[in-house]
Structure formats: C-alpha cells, structure tokens
Structure 1
Amino acid sequence: MFATPPGQIVARPDHPSTGERHDALAEATVTIAGVTGRDITHRRVPPEAFAGGARATAATSAGNSSNQTTTETSMSRRSRPLVVLLPATVTTGLVAGWFGDWAGAIMPGLRETDDRTFVAALQALDRAILSPLFMLTFMGALVLTGLAALLYRRAGDRAPLLWVTLAFGLYVVVVVITMAIHEPLNQILRYAGDPDAIADVGAVRNAFDEAQWAAWHNVRTVATTVAFGCLAWALVLHGRATAHREDPRLASPASGPPRGESLSKDASGT
C-alpha cells in the first residue's frame, strides 16, 4: 500500500454486495488521511448530493440552449431587413440607370431631330415604358425602400436606418416630380395622335415643353442616383454591424480587448 500524504482527501468507491449495487452507484466513501497515515474518519456522501449535481448540470445545459435560441432569434430578426434592402438597392439602381440613359443619351439625341421625328420617337418610347416590368421596378423601389426603413427601425439598427430613410425620402421626391411634372407633359404627346396626321407637329412639340421636361428629369436622375448610393452604403453598414456582433474582436481599437480577455490577463499578471 502507498502512504497517503498528510491532509489529502482521497475518494474511493465502496465494494458493495450484489444487493447494494444501486446504492453504490450513488455513494462514495471519502477518507481523510491523518498525519499518521491511518484512516481517521469515514464520511459517506448521500445520493442527494449527486442528484443535486445532476440537476445543476441539467439547468446549465438548459440555460445554454435557451441562450443559443435567443441568439438565433435575434440574428434572424436582424437579418430580415437585409432581405428587403437587397432588392430595394437593385431596383433603385435600375431606375437610376434608366434615368441616366435618358439624361445623357436619349434626350440630347432627340433634341437634334425634326419635330415629326421628335414626337414619333417619344410616343414610341412612352408606349415601351408603360409596361408591367417597368412599373413594377419603378414603384417596387419605393415600396421596398420604405419597408426596409421600417424593418431597420423595428430592429433598432440606427446606422443603416439613417441612410435607408434618406434614400426613401429622395425616392419619394422622384415619384412626386414624375407624377406632377413629367406625366402631364407625357400625356400631351401620348394623346396627340399619329404624327403623320397631326396638322402642326411643331405646336405639339412646343406644348410638350422639352426644356422643362429635361431640367426636372436631371433633378430626379441625381436624386435617384444619390438614393442608390445611400442604399449601397446601408448594405456596407449592415455587413459591418453583423461582423461585429459575431466577432467582438472586430470592434474599434479604442474599445480595447473583450472584458473577459482583459480580466484574464490581469489575473495572470501579464
């Protein structure tokens, strides 16, 4: 037999008989070795102690599971705005590109044509524009951007919310300009009839007021482009916020290391 160092607590299992195996699984004998190395006292640990440990382990596991579920729910709630922000950015970018084509190529090119060609071309373009696909894109950008702003407000993500709200406001201005200025002017050409049957095509072109149409179109082109940039930046901010939540080490250097790491270093003296 090996001598037991003084003061050491040694736990050893009993060797119960066949009829006592059930109790032996839940009990242990604790031997306190004295200075002489002889057994001084024996204390039996009741089964309730093991049952309490099992309950504590089960409670810890349940707590970890609950925390994991809460984290997953929180991440799901924060990811919902992104599902709307992505199509909002795409549709706004499509509209901005379409406006840019008109401002940079179509209207400058038509400006050099004769009256009959000008009226006929714009009538054909107007018929092509009034399609379900364009209307879905044009109005879809407005609806999706507004919905993204609402979702970010509910999620409490203020950084993307600011830029999405700004984009929504700019796009509302675009829709108002379109409906208040461009649509009435477009109707002048739309209902003028066949250019070959119009007695005075020049009068129709003058009533269209090309200069006013082009000036306000430049305004809505700039507004849509800026709105698209705001939504793109909101995507960047959403990605940064998500990365910081998943890995606290990506936080700003001024914030220092995580609290647990700092405490560990202090305790170790390094």
Structure 2
Amino acid sequence: MSSLMRPLALLSLLLSAALFGFFYAWVCSTMWGLDMADPRVAIAAMQAMNASVRNAVFAPAFFGTAPILLLTAFVMMREAQRSAALWFGLAGTVVALLAVALTAAFNIPMNEALAGVAVPQDIEAARIIWADYSPQWQVWNQIRTVTSGIAVLFVGIGIMRLGTA
C-alpha cells in the first residue's frame, strides 16, 4: 500500500469537511442573521464578507479539494484500491462540478454585482436590493452545501472501502 494513500485520504477528508462546513455555516446562521438585520447592514456586511473570503486560509479548501480528491483517487487506483478510488473520484467530481463550478457560475457573479452596489440610505431601497440578492444566493448556496456534504460522505465511504479490492 502506498505511503501516500492514507495521508491523501485524510487530507481529502479534511478539505472536503472544511468546504462543507464553510457552506453549511452560511446556510444555518450567517444568511438567516443577515436576513433579520437592517438590509443596509446586511448589504454592507455581505460586501465585507465576500471581500474577505479571498484569502490564503480559505483558498486550499475551495481550490484544492477537488484536485486532492482526484489525486487521491488516482493513487488509490494505482494501488489496486478500486472501490475506494471510485468513491474518492465521485467526491472529486461532485466538488468540482457542483460546489466549485456552481459557485463560479452563480454565487461569485452575484457577489461581484452586490460589491458594486452603493448601500442606499433609504431602507426601502435597501430592502429591494437585499430581497433581489439573498433568496437566490441562498438557493445556490444550499445546492453547493448539500453536494459538498455528499462529497464528505463519499470520502467516508471511500475510507471505509480501503483495503478491499
């Protein structure tokens, strides 16, 4: 058994769980809190959070999870761990297509559009902006949350399958 296989499996688990946890926190607290806040505050806070997420702490989970999962699957295939490799490959595909690609296609453009909005002084104008942004953004976030959670489950199944041909 390759000396890289188990460390890669654990790194895959860690990165997958970090990505899922990040998206999950937005679902169950952050967006609900912003939706209850003054919409002017919600807009300004979301702009600040979106600007701050581009950092070296988040980048490995967002940009590294799918490649690490696929590398892990490749190493496992070379080590004749086909069953485990299948699950890691599925996890990598799910993350790449249904978490990262959806984020790039939907959430990021919405975030960039919101970043260009001047926070209005008028609360009703702010309500309209937030109502146009938040529900749609949350739908895409819920999809990427569920799919990244499925990827974590796939990694767990893959780890359980290690040692079986």
1:97 alignment partner in structure 2: 21
Tell me which of 94, 117, 120 is aligned to 1:192.
117
Aligned residues, how many?
Answer: 163
CA contact (8 A) 2:40 2:121 kept: no
Q: Which has the higher helix share?
A: 2
Deviations 1:161-213 (A, max 9, x none): 121111112101211110001001001121224x26799434533443x2111
Q: Which has the higher strand share?
A: 1
2:36 alignment partner in structure 1: 112
1:162 alignment partner in structure 2: 86
* Identity in percent: 25
**Structure 1 stretches of at least 4 aligned residues deviating more than 4 Å after TM superposition:** 196-200
Of the two, which has the highest radius of gyration?
A: 1
Per-residue deviation, 1:236? 2.2
CA contact (8 A) 2:88 2:154 kept: yes
Per-residue deviation, 1:222? 0.7
Query: CA 1:197 to 1:108, structure 2 compared with 1: closer, same or farther past 3 Å?
Result: closer
Q: Secondary structure at the match of 1:130?
A: coil
Distance in 2 between residues matched to 1:214 and 1:91, nearest whole Å: 22
* Greater RCO structure (CA 8 Å; 6+ sep): 2
The RMSD of aligned alpha carbons is 2.2
TM-score scaled to structure 1, two decimals? Answer: 0.56
1:175 alignment partner in structure 2: 100
Distance in 2 between residues matched to 1:124 and 1:112, nearest whole Å: 17
2:77 alignment partner in structure 1: 153
Where do residues 124-143 of structure 1 align in structure 2 (5 Å cutoff)? 124-143=48-67
CA contact (8 A) 1:192 1:198 kept: no
- Unaligned runs of at least 5 residues, structure 2: none
- Unaligned runs of at least 5 residues, structure 1: 1-74, 245-270
Distance in 2 between residues matched to 1:198 and 1:147, nearest whole Å: 51
Distance in 2 between residues matched to 1:180 and 1:91, nearest whole Å: 21
TM-score scaled to structure 2, two decimals? Answer: 0.88
Deviations 1:91-140 (A, max 9, x none): 11011111111001111111122220110110121122111210122111
